[in-house]
Structure 1
């Protein structure tokens, strides 16, 4: 099943990619109610100014709170993720358990579509991440947590799209993105704004359902791409931020 209209929950809405997803949804022509999930009540005004119609306070690590946050939701865009740091060594990971909690709540809520932002470097896309960074994130357990989250979503029975962006930047959207499928396909960087555009486009693109894509910006591409795919990414609803398809069918966008 693919999402057509209704209530979209953005998990990780205060993060760099999550904020841009809110902005894309605000600019869309679709009939959507945007619900932002945050851990802190202090974020409510900022999230509403950023495009959220509703704000719910829920820690992704709290299963009951997440279940409440997902009530009445029709689609989910999940951009939850950890940043490398000492706290990652001593705490459970939102990349794994947190995302799994959102997936379980989405399944219980019978959502139509779930879009997950993971990362190049996870699973069979490992060669697309530089060796040094990959070793660091493997040591911190972040990549293994993200892999568990991906697997949990695939096994959930939900209609899903998993996006594995390359290195995320805060640059303006390029509207010119290369999408691979198959793991070791593309390597490089991509603006968060491009990723956000693809997250929203994936909600409305039936051909993207139940697939995993690696995504980088064409200008951030490192090395020759392999396994590039051409999809008719739906630009309806069309965002004023960036057309995820640009002028070529293989162009797209990705996330945190």
Structure 2
């Protein structure tokens, strides 16, 4: 049995992960979020729910007790939250981390799309880069995930790139990113100490099709 803690469990990608995990009885899931009411009608049967703030070190440490993998899907001051997560994981002896960031943190998005992406979210990129630097500089067994622009398409279709490679497509479904996360939960050696770009094949262009 693998114990998985999901931080930011009401997030849109996390909700898909939660749905996928019902098909994986070997994974025991704990959901950590500030307001359990935000889970709505999502099927969380058999899952433990803890209300708390990731910035609350004591609450986070309590939730991490006995966990094998932490999956963080957060908004807000992601660099400060990443520091807290890393420090609490090191204190509690939990080693495996999956952390969602964004594309562009390594200036890896080429051409016109890269310029458009920087114009659209350039102010948001530095905190994600600082979060990635913190995680990569730690002793944790991490996977950093860098999704393309997200859609709500009901599909699983994705390809990956590694740190140091140029990013490819412009968009990807949240469901696809969730499927990648679940693949790492199923096989924790996958993308170990890696930073992985995730996009939908065939979506190369100057910007996502929905813009």
Scaled by the length of structure 2, the TM-score of the pair is: 0.85
- Given candidates 2, 9, 19, the residue that maps to 2:5 is 9
Match of 1:61 in 2: 55
Q: CA RMSD in A?
A: 2.3
Distance 1:63 1:136 in 2: 33
Distance 1:125 1:103 in 2: 25
Runs of 4+ off more than 6 Å:
none
Question: 1:123 Cα deviation (Å)?
Answer: 2.1
Q: Is the 1:21–1:196 contact (alpha carbons within 8 Å) kept by the matching residues of 2? A: yes
- Given candidates 79, 92, 104, the residue that maps to 1:121 is 104
Distance 2:159 2:36 in 1: 38
Distance 1:155 1:46, change over 3 A: farther
Indicate the structure with greater strand content: 2
Secondary structure of the corresponding residue to residue 213 of structure 1 = strand
Distance 1:7 1:179 in 2: 26
- Given candidates 121, 138, 141, the residue that maps to 1:137 is 121
Match of 1:24 in 2: 20
- Given candidates 68, 75, 82, the residue that maps to 1:99 is 82
Q: Is the 2:109–2:167 contact (alpha carbons within 8 Å) kept by the matching residues of 1? A: no
Q: For 1:75-94, what aligned pairs fall within 5 Å after superposition?
A: 75-82=69-76, 93=77
Q: For structure 2, which runs of at least 5 residues remain unmatched after alignment?
A: 207-211
- Given candidates 152, 159, 166, the residue that maps to 1:178 is 159
Q: Is the 1:57–1:69 contact (alpha carbons within 8 Å) kept by the matching residues of 2? A: no
- Once the two structures are overlaid, the 10-residue window that deviates more, 122-131 or 189-198, is 122-131
Match of 2:209 in 1: none
Distance 1:103 1:42 in 2: 27
- Given candidates 28, 37, 40, the residue that maps to 2:35 is 40
Q: For structure 1, which runs of at least 5 residues remain unmatched after alignment?
A: 83-92, 224-256
- Once the two structures are overlaid, the 10-residue window that deviates more, 149-158 or 118-127, is 118-127
Secondary structure of the corresponding residue to residue 50 of structure 2 = strand
Give the aligned length. 203
